[in-house]
Amino acid sequence: MDDFSTDIRIQVSTAYVDDQSEPGSSRYVFAYTITIHNQGAVAAKLKSRHWIITDANGKVQEVNGDGVVGEQPHLKPGEQFRYSSGTVLETPVGAMQGLYRMETDSGQRFDAPIPPFTLAVPGLLH
């Protein structure tokens, strides 16, 4: 069986959303933009997502759902899909990681890992 997980490359950029955050109320809003590249030789559809979101207090949220932002993008070889979303933490620093559950056109399912990335209020981490 082929391992397609290395064929999907995921890039992440993050931003702190100052005007929606309320530090005095332990509310820190972060936006993230994900770019999913299909670098493999077969087309694949993003079926669902699984996120693990951890704040600086060790509080963990797990998020599962179909697709991303209401879509299940179908990526042909060489194509990419970009979307933006967000999360709210109770601390000014946190981390996210997870995976996308993918399926090839021939029905083979595989997971594409989303490497851990940091969410942090600017200037807090050096």
pTM listed for this prediction:
0.91
First to last CA, the chain: 44
What ranges do the domains of the chain cover?
5-119
Residue-level pLDDT at 2: 63
| Distance of alpha carbon 10 from alpha carbon 59, whole angstroms | 25
Residue-level pLDDT at 1: 46
pLDDT, tens digit, 9 for 90 and up, residues 96-107: 999 999 999 999
Residue-level pLDDT at 70: 94
pLDDT, tens digit, 9 for 90 and up, residues 3-53: 787 799 999 999 999 999 999 999 999 999 999 999 999 999 999 999 999
> The domain at 5-119 falls in which architecture?
Sandwich (2.60)
